[in-house]
Amino acid sequence: MMHVSVSSRPINTETLIQHHDAAFRYFGGMPQECVYDQTKLVVISEIFRELTLNQRFHQYATAVGFHIRACEGYDPESKGKVEAGVKYVKHNGLYGEAFANWHELERYLADWLDNTANQRLHGSTRQQPRAHYEQAEKAAMLPYLTPSCIQASSAESIVTRKSDKTGLIAWQGNKYPVPMAYQDSRVGVVNHNGQLRISDSPTGEIIAEHLIRLEQGQTIKNTDHYRDKAQRIAALETDIQQLLDDAEHGQALCALLKASAPRIYKDQLVGAKQVLAAHCQQHGRIHPSLLTLLIDTPRLTAAGLRDRLEAWHSHPQRYRETDTVLPRRTSSTVLKRYGALSKRCSDQGTSHVIH
């Protein structure tokens, strides 16, 4: 008789232990000895057939009372039966199937085990696996109870917590922060392998993750949760427009910065504000011809803005040259340029709002 466990994430030692627990409860007992290949989840190393076991898994095996036996390295013959079972699950149970979500896959496998895999006529014993297990093997199984060392982590049940007005939730004697938008709201909380996962209750979307502290009475801080990034960006855009003393050119400059580096737009605004503030303090307002040329460049970053300003001040005669070559931009021309840059931002999955 077989049991199948699946995982939506890479399998670690804790997951392997939980799969053992599920299998032993399905069988109604456990064997005296379990055979493994030399996975690091069970065997760390082998020298002259002397095994160094994974400490966490060895703790579980000792707690429940079964013996670990590892196959010899590079000896596929010693685990052929295991490989045959894996092939059967892939080719008979899963081949050609499609599932809408993970829970549907789990329900399908449970039904497949009970009604197909363990009810078929086995090729070796010529008996149904479940009937053969009940008659010939179950009596030799040892009794099994889920040990306390995995009771806390075996079931990841989501519980609800209400954050206070400061954006903190209580969990096992400590307080953890949630994003500002979830202050004074109910959120889902689950302990996942030592990580506290906090999710939006209606959608299940993960909104925060924290390492669970063993000490009690701690208040964990995450300053990023207390920032309203949209308001911060809007304030920076307004500051840049004021430094330029020209709202239209300021909007176009911000759009160019966003089109050039959309993922770090806020940082670019901070840098551009510092560059412009230093320039205004040392040289006064930016020359209109220079500002027009800066906005006309295909790509501009805060560092590029600083370099271009420094280069122009190294050659002041360029001001006089551009005064005779370039006409003064009208409001409609600047806004047209701004609209084109904003569209380029939206094509990259972001948008720019005129404030």
DSSP string, 246-272: -HHHHHHHHHHHHHH-GGGHHHHHHHH
Clarify whether residues 343 and 253 are in a common domain: yes
The residue segments making up the domain with residue 178 are 156-226
Spatial contact of 196 and 187, defined as CB atoms under 8 Å apart: no
Clarify whether residues 70 and 160 are in a common domain: no
Domain C-terminal end among 83, 109, 143: 143
Tell me, what's the pLDDT at 354? 37
Total of domains in the chain:
3
Clarify whether residues 211 and 234 are in a common domain: no
- 221-229, long-range: CB within 8 Å, 24+ apart, which pairs? 221/177, 222/177, 225/167, 225/177, 225/178, 225/179, 225/180, 226/167, 226/177, 226/180, 227/180, 228/180, 229/266
Clarify whether residues 110 and 194 are in a common domain: no
Tell me the pTM.
Answer: 0.45
Clarify whether residues 216 and 238 are in a common domain: no
Estimate to the nearest angstrom the gap between the alpha carbon of 52 and the chain centroid: 33
Per-residue pLDDT of the chain in tens (355 residues, 90 and over written 9): 899 998 877 788 888 999 999 999 999 999 999 988 888 999 998 877 788 899 999 999 999 999 998 887 766 666 656 667 888 898 888 888 888 887 888 889 999 999 999 999 887 788 999 999 999 999 999 999 888 777 544 445 677 888 888 889 998 888 999 988 788 888 889 888 778 899 887 777 888 898 888 788 889 887 665 555 666 788 889 999 998 888 888 899 999 999 998 888 888 998 999 999 988 888 888 877 788 888 888 899 999 999 888 888 777 665 455 444 444 444 455 455 555 555 554 444 443 333 3
How many angstroms separate the CA atoms of 291 and 244, rounded?
Answer: 9
Tokens 């720019």 belong to which residue? 352
How many angstroms separate the CA atoms of 15 and 29, rounded?
Answer: 19
Contacts (Cβ under 8 Å, ≥6 apart) of 177: 167, 168, 169, 208, 210, 220, 221, 222, 225, 226
Does residue 270 sit within a domain? yes
Tell me, what's the pLDDT at 348? 42
Contacts (Cβ under 8 Å, ≥6 apart) of 88: 117
Estimate to the nearest angstrom the gap between the alpha carbon of 96 and the chain centroid: 29
Clarify whether residues 56 and 177 are in a common domain: no
Does residue 7 sit within a domain? no
* 234-284: pLDDT as tens digits: 888 999 999 888 888 889 999 999 999 888 888 899 899 999 998 888 888
**166 exposed, middle or buried (CB, 10 Å; 0-12, 13-18, 19+)?**
exposed
Give the 3-state secondary structure of 65-107: CCEEEECCCCCHHHHHHHHHHHHHHHHHHHCCCCCCCHHHHHH
Does residue 29 sit within a domain? yes
How many angstroms separate the CA atoms of 154 and 27, rounded?
Answer: 17
Domain C-terminal end among 206, 226, 246: 226
DSSP state of 113: I
- What element of type H or E holds 44? strand 43-47
Does residue 3 sit within a domain? no
